[in-house]
Amino acid sequence: MFPALSAMVVAAPLMVAVADQVPQFDLGPTCHGAAPAAGGGGHGSEVCIRSELSARDQLAKEWSSFPPADRNGCVQLTNMTHMPSYAQLITCLEMRRDARVLENPQQRSTVGQGH
């Protein structure tokens, strides 16, 4: 029991650190071998990297608006593929946010509902 508990105590600060800032992903495995986009004017991997960096910029703007538990969970899911993607991470975060809104009707917009 004590080894498992000590592992949790050691890992807890790492989980908090992950939630504090947008993670840094190695995009090599994710974008290696990406097919060139038609009319993209570049190699597929270059287009992929530009797209991923754009997604990372968007994440940086919105990162603090997502709950830490969602950030931790989505980062863990994204890293499980061994081909991490900022686009995948932001999609996970947005889906969790949207699911929470669907679960709580009082958070939904009442525009056009005659209230």
What are the DSSP calls for 39-84, one per residue?
T-SS-HHHHHHHHHHHHHHHHHHHGGGS-HHHHHHHHHHHHHTSS-
Q: Taking residues 38-50, report their average pLDDT.
A: 75
How confident is residue 40, by pLDDT bands cut at 50, 70 and 90?
low
> What are the structural domain ranges in the chain?
40-104
Residue 43 has pLDDT above 90, yes or no: no
pLDDT for residue 13 = 45
Task: Give residue 98's pLDDT.
Answer: 93
Instruction: Tell how many helices (H) and how many strands (E) occur in the chain.
Output: 5, 0
What's the angle, vertex CA 24, arms to CA 7 and CA 73, rounded to 5?
Answer: 50
72: confidence class by pLDDT, cuts 50, 70, 90: very high
Residue 85's H or E segment, with its range, is none
- pLDDT value at 53 more than 60: yes
User: In this model, does residue 100 exceed pLDDT 80?
Assistant: yes
